[in-house]
Amino acid sequence: MSTARKVYTRTGDDGTTGLLYGGRARKDGPGPSAYGTSDEAVSALGLARADAERGGELDTLLIRLQRELFVVGAELATEPEHRDRLTDGVTRVTEAMVADLEPVIDDITSRYDPPREFVLPGETRIAAALDLARTVVRRAERDAVAATAAGWLEPESQVVPYLNRLADLVYTLARWQEGEYRPARAP
């Protein structure tokens, strides 16, 4: 007899989902909607990573971003009354996480000539996957704004600024992958 744990629990059949640190919320509520979209962004970045060189610069960066999106998801999956249990950088997005994206954006932007017109996604598979990921991140950002307006996130939460910067970074990664490769500048 197998001792494997079953994937299904049936607890969500009533339209609710379990939250980090306890409690349940409607699956279409502001928090679950936002963390569901951030989970989609993790998968969309994975689609781009699937075509990236294993262990290469893009692969390594995308893994970092996917892991950081798990932090976003953890904060969004926590009821407001349990936010005191969150840990900075592990289950709560920090100002440093937001700030750490900006030099990466600046570095990547220096590696390609900016587009002079609207971008039509699809120049390369990786760039197209990154453009898809960018749109999912922007939707996660909009969902997080709605979660903030609904009182699910505190106004001082760094989730929205993080997602805003992340969408900018993913845009720059797509443009970089379309253009002529220039290696990272030495520090």
Residue-wise pLDDT for 56-97, tens only, equals 999 999 999 999 999 999 999 999 999 999 999 999 999 999
Q: What digits encode the pLDDT tens for the residues 127-163?
A: 999 999 999 999 999 999 999 999 999 999 999 999 9
CATH hierarchy code of domain 27-78+87-178 = 1.20.1200.10
Closest Cα partner for 108 from 65, 40, 170? 170
Cα 43 from Cα 137, distance rounded (Å): 11
- Give the mean pLDDT of the chain: 91
For the chain, the domains span 27-78+87-178
